[in-house]
């Protein structure tokens, strides 16, 4: 029998110029076969939990499930879910009734992780402690120099989100809860008309601006606070000055009643650090088709004790056992 003229895989990979393109194609095909097209999920949304999601999704790649996640902000993620351009979305704010009404297949909202929103600033040597009134006045532009806050003189330059953001929704919810003036004049939500400052896209963009500009102050997910940035000490509803730490964040998180639909929040807790939030994965209740198996595999892993144990080292809060039990029950209601 004549020997086949088709090169073996090792021959294709070792050939230089002649078989270079073939080798590349073979590797791509083998990667797709190993992963499986039906095991690829596309998601988009909140930048707040992006760091822990990317870590989890990297782990899942070795288990045969590929997840492509785009950190585009909670608002954009919700819109993509409604337009059915993704398999799931992520948001730091649950969908509202009018948004849910646009999804005839229904939606299930599952708290997936939690964290704190820090007021981060770039002013070396300043140990910033803010009363609730001072916090509001900084973002109203009424306080415009660190000397007014007991630190060395330095002009304050506010940085805020420019995109539709669950981080903004939670931060402004806190400002609205502690200040009727803020609630009445500026309002709360994923986007507001900021009275002062410059905008940047995503937690990554805000952190980048804060790092570049001395005297800058803004709000970001606590995991983004790294040298030279510091996190301000804030005042909770009981009048206690509290820094964002794992312990103070967990204490505040425990005060949140999620309710039967798992969408509860508390914008001004009396215990612990005062700005904490869950972050949700948004799923179609029905109409998932062949993607259901991959969705179940991904979320079963992210809701596992093993995955949740990673949260503190990445700047997030591990979900309490009671919340995990509710989450797993909600996942079981998802249909093809």
pLDDT tens-digit profile of 244-294? 999 999 999 988 999 999 999 999 999 999 999 999 999 999 999 999 999
- 317: three-class secondary structure by DSSP: strand
What's residue 328's pLDDT? Answer: 98
pLDDT of 44 = 97
User: Can you give the residue ranges of every domain in the chain?
Assistant: 37-115+277-331, 116-253
Regarding predicted confidence, which is higher, 325 or 38? 325
- Supply the pLDDT for residue 134: 98
* Overall pTM surpassing 0.75 (yes/no): yes
- pLDDT for the residue numbered 6: 37
| Higher pLDDT, residue 101 or 6 | 101
Question: 37-115+277-331: which CATH topology?
Answer: D-Maltodextrin-Binding Protein; domain 2 (3.40.190)
Q: DSSP string spanning 59-94?
A: HHHTTT-EEEEEE--HHHHHHHHHTT-SSEEEESSP
In the block, residue with structure tokens 């949700």: 280
Mean pLDDT of the chain: 89
- What's the rounded Cα separation, in Å, for the pair 312 and 250? 11
**Which CATH class for the 116-253 domain?**
alpha beta
pLDDT digits (tens, 9 = 90+) for 81-117: 999 999 999 999 999 999 999 999 999 999 999 999 9
Statement: residue 5 has pLDDT above 70: no
């Amino acid at each position: 029998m004549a020997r086949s003229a088709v090169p073996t895989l090792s021959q294709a990979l070792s050939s230089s110029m002649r078989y270079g393109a073939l080798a590349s194609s073979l590797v791509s095909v083998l990667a797709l076969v190993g992963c499986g097209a039906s095991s690829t999920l596309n998601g988009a949304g909140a930048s707040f939990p992006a760091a822990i999601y990317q870590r989890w999704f990297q782990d899942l790649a070795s288990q045969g499930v590929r997840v492509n996640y785009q950190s585009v902000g909670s608002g954009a993620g919700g819109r993509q879910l409604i337009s059915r351009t993704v398999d799931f979305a992520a948001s730091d704010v649950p969908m509202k009734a009018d948004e849910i009404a646009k999804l005839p297949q229904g939606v299930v909202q599952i708290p997936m992780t939690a964290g704190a929103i820090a007021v981060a600033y770039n002013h070396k040597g300043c140990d910033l402690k803010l009363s609730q009134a001072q916090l509001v006045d900084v973002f109203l532009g009424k306080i415009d120099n660190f000397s007014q806050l007991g630190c060395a003189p330095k002009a304050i330059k506010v940085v805020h989100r420019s995109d539709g953001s669950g981080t903004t929704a939670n931060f402004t919810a806190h400002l609205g809860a502690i200040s009727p003036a803020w609630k009445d004049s500026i309002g709360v939500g994923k986007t507001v008309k900021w009275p002062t400052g410059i905008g940047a896209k995503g937690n990554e963009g805000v952190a980048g601006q804060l790092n570049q500009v001395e005297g800058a102050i803004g709000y970001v997910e606590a995991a983004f606070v790294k040298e030279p940035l510091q996190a301000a000490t804030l005042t909770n509803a009981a009048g206690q000055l509290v820094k964002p730490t794992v312990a103070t964040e967990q204490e505040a998180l425990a005060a949140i009643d999620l309710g039967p639909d798992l969408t509860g929040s508390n914008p001004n807790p009396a215990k612990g650090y005062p700005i904490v939030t869950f972050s949700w994965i948004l799923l179609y209740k029905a109409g998932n088709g062949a993607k259901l198996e991959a969705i179940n595999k991904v979320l079963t892993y992210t809701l596992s004790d093993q995955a949740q144990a990673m949260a503190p080292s990445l700047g997030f809060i591990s979900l309490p056992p009671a919340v995990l039990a509710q989450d797993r029950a909600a996942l079981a209601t998802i249909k093809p």
